[in-house]
Amino acid sequence: MINKYGIPSLLSILDLSVQEIDELVSTAEHIIANPKSYAQRCKGKKLATLFFEPSTRTRLSFEAAMYELGGNVIGFSEANSSSAAKGESVADTAKTISCYADIIAMRHPKEGAPMVAAMNATIPVINAGDGGHNHPTQTLADLLTIKLEKGRFDHLVIGVCGDLKFGRTVHSLIDAMSRYEGVSFVLISPEELKVPDYVRNAMKEKNIPFVETTDLEGAMPTLDILYMTRVQRERFFNEEDYLRLKDSYILTADKLDNAKQNLSVLHPLPRVNEISVAIDDDPRACYFKQVLNGKYMRMALILKLLGV
């Protein structure tokens, strides 16, 4: 998205063309191979991390990314330590931070809040997760992981399992991978946690092959990638429903017996109970690689948005 001041922001993974994603992946691969040559690229620049919701990976990987580019970081990690607690609007917060920093990474519980920030800021805004809507930089981490594990983005069967209703990483991943030839999806969830209609309708309109099922074990032998997700407790209206659904899918070692030997198991993390820790040492487990890849892709994205 480009705002009225001509400033680019990243709100949805679809803000990036396939070619731009390829370029970001190439930059990230170059950073991995040549970290020292990037160590001063953002010298004198400041990243503001505005996190109105909890985070470990996204906030700290953005901060690590900026430090590894030679820049500095300011920000807050909870709404209560900002003037949002006094009633300041997202628009005014964005205008204010534009006076202090060069780029913003914002996480907010309300869908669309980063868009409001991007419309009002005079610096780029990166959506670091908005409610149950989108999480494009997690998708960038997922894409680099898929590229490094599979060597391609096309002709893959992707199983997405768990909370497909509230899982914003799922929505962004489907958007991103739907653009590649020969990709199909197996959407595995309880009835109550199926993908929202807007996601399903978009897949139908684009003729993306997908099936919806409750049966993880039945789907397992067909999958090239299994993307597990946590049931999003913070988005439920009542605790009773969460407790009933939270352990719908637990990936244990025996469930991988029927999987392909080159299956890649991804998870955006945090994990609660969806993947047994016994699987962490299985070569098919890629979720901690995703964590590291997220830092490299965020470095590449910061460079792109700052035009460095």
| Contact residues: ligand CP, CB under 6 A | 55-58, 129, 138, 268-270
Would you give the distance in Å from CA 90 to the centre of its chain? Answer: 22
Rounded (5°) CA angle 259-262-267: 75
The C-alpha R_g of the chain, in whole angstroms, comes to 19
Is 171 noted as a catalytic residue in this protein?
A: no
Is 229 noted as a catalytic residue in this protein?
A: no
- Minimum gap (Å) between residue 291 Cβ and ligand CP: 8
**Closest to ligand CP by CB, 53 or 68:** 53
Which residue is catalytic, options 107, 133, 165, 171?
A: 107
Residue 175, both tokens = 């958007």
**Closest to ligand CP by CB, 56 or 252:** 56
- Minimum gap (Å) between residue 87 Cβ and ligand CP: 26
Is 4 noted as a catalytic residue in this protein?
A: no
Which residue is catalytic, options 135, 246, 267, 298?
A: 135
**Closest to ligand CP by CB, 21 or 141:** 141
Q: 304 and 32 in contact (C-beta within 8 Å)?
A: no
**Closest to ligand CP by CB, 58 or 178:** 58
Is 86 noted as a catalytic residue in this protein?
A: yes
Which residue is catalytic, options 27, 58, 93, 139?
A: 58
- Minimum gap (Å) between residue 197 Cβ and ligand CP: 24
- Minimum gap (Å) between residue 31 Cβ and ligand CP: 20
Would you give the distance in Å from CA 205 to the centre of its chain? Answer: 23
**Closest to ligand CP by CB, 9 or 293:** 293
- Minimum gap (Å) between residue 129 Cβ and ligand CP: 6
Is 135 noted as a catalytic residue in this protein?
A: yes
Q: Residue 308: is it exposed, middle or buried by C-beta count within 10 angstroms (0-12/13-18/19+)?
A: middle
Active-site positions read 57-58, 86, 107, 135
